[in-house]
A and B are shown apart, each in its own frame.
Chain A
Amino acid sequence: MSMQVEDPRVIEFDVRTDEMLVNMGPQHPSTHGVLRLLLKTDGEVVSEVTPHIGYLHRCAEKIGENLSPPQWIPYTDRMDYLAAMNMNLGFSLVIEKLIGMDVPEKAMNCRLIIAELGRVASHLVGMGAYGLDLGSFSPFLYAFREREIILDLFEETCGARLTYSYMTPGGVTHDLPGMITIPPGLAQLTGNSPDMELEWKDAVLMFLDWLETRIHEYHTLLTRNAIFIKRTAGIGILSPEMAKSYGCTGPVLRSSGIDYDLRRDGEEIYTRMYEGYNFEVPVAPFDAAPRGVELGDNWTRFYVRMMEVVQAIGLVRQGLDKYETAAGSYREGFKMGSKLPADECYLETESPRGQMGFYVVGANAAEPLRTRAKSSCFCNLSVTAPLCENTLLGDIPSVVGSLDIVMGEIDR
């Protein structure tokens, strides 16, 4: 399966077939939502891929022009619904940048803990769904079992399980919870009584302790699995030049060997959240890579996400340590209906899938003149056409899956 055809024209006469157009999606399970790929195939070789998007277009940007910023927060949830917390954060920060608001230390601390937990949850889905694309079912079930606990912890924090609207301009809507009943999944996995009462903080720590011991199991199931390596190593190679030109960001960019993470290299309003925290930015190439892996291939993209989970766990731990001593309130008041100045600003944050950008133009009114959501997946997906040229039909899900796209964010 992992062979790559150097020149598709050189196919033996006996096996040559007519060119055929194959429609993959929009309801295909391995296109991660409603993505339609139009494939021009000659036998098993795909010569051209044309992505068609827009099936989930909900005019979010137009709606944003008629709503005040706090009212638009729920719409950002519904863009990248697997990392809604990180989307809330991006939009809240851009509004704070526009009106020049300072957020208390406590609010930044809450945001960091929740955003990094969100990153863990998002990468768990990315990992599980990628295994599913390649025909391995068990990692998907494990990933969703683990994610379930994070969703339970989020539910205790803000009442919602998927579309949180937890971070708003000025801080977060609620402080982190105190005593809670242990999430049922966590009780079962750790062998505790389901009626156990404990601090939310301790529940998070208990979960992280448990999750950390599991990561090597995922590596056994996927990362080091011979079939998985065969299907991913050396396939879909994204060169650093192409990654730059196509505006790829996040794990996709870092797997091409470009060391850039907005949590470290971004604008001050965002990086100040991460000040005093220790974390590494995993960048390819890796010493741990098995034979056959090349810079910027599917395996490397997958592995960067796995490494980021470890870093995110470390960040949550550090955040919880600092929670008690963090100064100020969890929220600075943002007056509903307060006017946005006649200025504009753009800010990108490091969302699990890449650099999510928001651009807001104010016009002395409560509603912005323009709200723009620049999707990271949109840019990452645009690279599929050149990436999938002259690969085998069976490798298409492997390449598209490794980009880890969410259609809600692409179509907005």
Chain B
Amino acid sequence: MNTEEIHGILAEQFGDAILELKSEAIDPWIVVAGEQIVEILTFLRDDERLQFDHLNDLTAVDYLEMDEKKAKKFPYEPHLEMVYHLSSFGLKHRTVIKISTTRWKDDKPGNFPDIPSVAGVFGIADWHEREAFDMFGINFVGHPNLKRILCPEDWEGHPLRKDYEFPQEYHGIRGQ
């Protein structure tokens, strides 16, 4: 089943929560409203026609260009995106679901955006969301154990954000 058909089924089920279909991309994607992501992924997993029983990947992308010269040619608006890659073992099709959000909640720097956690839908989302929290500073609402996973617990900042500043020192070890 291709992404257009999947979009049709989702739009029928969730109506306004399905925001956009980008079908001309290499991997076509569907943008959905963040508030409903748990219901949407549960539906994708359980519906007989779709059977998306495998969450291949869950990650985020920070769309921002810090360099002023390059920023003029930068093809994206500054924002943060959650990306969910799904596939089905039985039906052997795949799709991409996205959530678009502001880089900071209410545009206050340091205020993490809220995304509902899907750790209850897919077991692996637990660790992937911890990694996304660690790297991007996204607050996964309802996550059972939202702690850093790759960086040490006392690490400052979220390294994969584009405006991340490299630390000058960490426990007496010089950085930069």
Residues of A within 8 A of B (CB): 53-54, 57, 59, 61-62, 97-98, 242, 244-247, 258, 260, 265, 267, 342-346, 348, 355, 357, 359, 361, 363-365, 369-370, 372, 374, 378-379, 382-383, 386, 411-412
Secondary structure dominating the interface of B:
loop
* A242, B150: Cβ atoms closer than 8 Å: no
- Residues in B whose Cβ lies below 8 Å from that of A346: 27, 56-57, 85, 96
* A54, B85: Cβ atoms closer than 8 Å: no
Closest 8 CB pairs of A and B: A247-B124, A245-B123, A342-B75, A54-B150, A246-B123, A374-B57, A345-B26, A57-B150
- Bound-complex Cα distance A369 to B122 (A): 27
Residue among B26, B59, B89, B149 making CB contact with A372, cutoff 8 Å? B59
Interface assignment of B76: CB less than 8 Å from any CB of chain A: yes
Sampled A-B contacts (12; CB under 8 Å)? A54-B148, A62-B160, A244-B53, A245-B123, A246-B122, A265-B92, A344-B27, A346-B27, A355-B56, A372-B59, A379-B124, A382-B126
- Residues in A whose Cβ lies below 8 Å from that of B56: 247, 346, 348, 355, 357, 374
Closest to B135 in A: A61
Residue among A61, A245, A345, A364 making CB contact with B27, cutoff 8 Å? A345
* B151, A372: Cβ atoms closer than 8 Å: no
B interface, how many residues as a size bin?
A: 35 or more
CB proximity of B175 to chain A, nearest CB, Å: 12
- Bound-complex Cα distance A14 to B161 (A): 55
Would you list which residues of chain B between 121 and 169 have a CB under 8 Å from chain A?
A: 122-124, 126-127, 135, 148-152, 159-160
CB proximity of B57 to chain A, nearest CB, Å: 4
- Bound-complex Cα distance A359 to B58 (A): 10
Interface assignment of B74: CB less than 8 Å from any CB of chain A: yes
Residue among B25, B89, B92, B126 making CB contact with A344, cutoff 8 Å? B25
Closest to A260 in B: B89
CB proximity of A230 to chain B, nearest CB, Å: 30
Interface assignment of B63: CB less than 8 Å from any CB of chain A: yes
Closest to B87 in A: A348
CB proximity of B43 to chain A, nearest CB, Å: 16
- Bound-complex Cα distance A344 to B76 (A): 12
Interface assignment of B171: CB less than 8 Å from any CB of chain A: no
Q: Which of B57, B61, B126 has the most CB of A within 10 A?
A: B57
- Bound-complex Cα distance A61 to B57 (A): 15
CB proximity of A78 to chain B, nearest CB, Å: 15
* A382, B123: Cβ atoms closer than 8 Å: yes
* B61, A370: Cβ atoms closer than 8 Å: yes
- Residues in B whose Cβ lies below 8 Å from that of A267: 94
Interface assignment of B82: CB less than 8 Å from any CB of chain A: no
Given A357-B56, A382-B127, also A244-B83 (CB < 8 A): no
* B89, A244: Cβ atoms closer than 8 Å: yes
- Residues in A whose Cβ lies below 8 Å from that of B74: 363-364
